[in-house]
Structure 1
Amino acid sequence: MTAVSMEIEKAAVILKLLGDKTRLTMMKILEQNDCCVCEFVAIFNTSQPAISQHVRKLKDVGLVKESRRGQWIIYSLNTTSEFYPLIKSLLEQIPDQGFRLKELEAQGLRISCE
């Protein structure tokens, strides 16, 4: 397999991952805000194991990174990923999702893990 076809394969894996609406929305949110799993659970109104699975898939390919704040793990966009330029141009085409965090704040659920 040539280097070019390997890069196409990697890009296809990334785009397939982002073909999932939840993961794509997560990436758009992470573009401007770091989040913990508990916030995504509240935003998407789904189970913690399901959200953790989505985050793990994004982390496994290097699209998101984690940092520890006390006992909590906070996720952010990995701007050092080789795919960041692709991700950045893709996210520019997607509507802002900041309203989801504003809704959380209004419910008193923003960073509910701290």
Structure 2
Amino acid sequence: MEQIQEMSETLKLLGDKTRLTIVALLKEQELCVCDIVALLATSQPNVSQHLRKLRDGGLVGETRKGQWIYYSLKVEDKPYVRDLIASLPSFAERLKSEKQCCD
């Protein structure tokens, strides 16, 4: 029953379009908040709030590189999420064409 509860909470997190899009972006590569803000054309507080929820839900991790914090997927222990992520559309081409803000 505990596993069902965890899966339910994780799937609720991914039921939000913005969070699901962030996960699709992070599927391709780790990103800084400012990169995600630019790609989603939304505000930094909005993206930060979604990233916090994803982090608290155990779906993303963060790594500090100098003054920047980069986010990446952290779903090794969630095979049901890995399968879902694999079926998300690719943003690889869009990421290639966008200038990364923190490089």
Aligned with residue 62 of structure 1, among 58, 61, 75: 58
Aligned residues: 103
Alpha-carbon offset, residue 93 of structure 1: 1.7
Q: Which residue of structure 2 lines up, in the alignment, with residue 48 of structure 1? A: 44
Cα distance in 1 for partners of 2:93, 2:53 equals: 25
Unaligned runs of 5+ in 2: none
Partner secondary structure for residue 64 of structure 2: strand
Cα distance in 2 for partners of 1:100, 1:24 equals: 16
Aligned with residue 21 of structure 2, among 15, 19, 25: 25
Q: Which residue of structure 1 lines up, in the alignment, with residue 102 of structure 2? A: 113
Cα distance in 1 for partners of 2:75, 2:16 equals: 21
Structure with higher Rg: it is 1
Is 1:101 equivalent to 2:95 in the alignment? yes
After TM superposition, what 4+ stretches of structure 1 lie above 2 angstroms from structure 2? none
Aligned with residue 12 of structure 1, among 8, 27, 45: 8
Asked if structure 1 preserves the Cα contact closer than 8 Å seen for 2:28 and 2:90, the reply is no
Partner secondary structure for residue 67 of structure 1: strand
Identity within the alignment, %: 47
Alpha-carbon offset, residue 30 of structure 1: 1.1
| TM-score normalized by the length of structure 1 | 0.83
Q: Which residue of structure 1 lines up, in the alignment, with residue 83 of structure 2? A: 89
Cα distance in 2 for partners of 1:75, 1:94 equals: 18
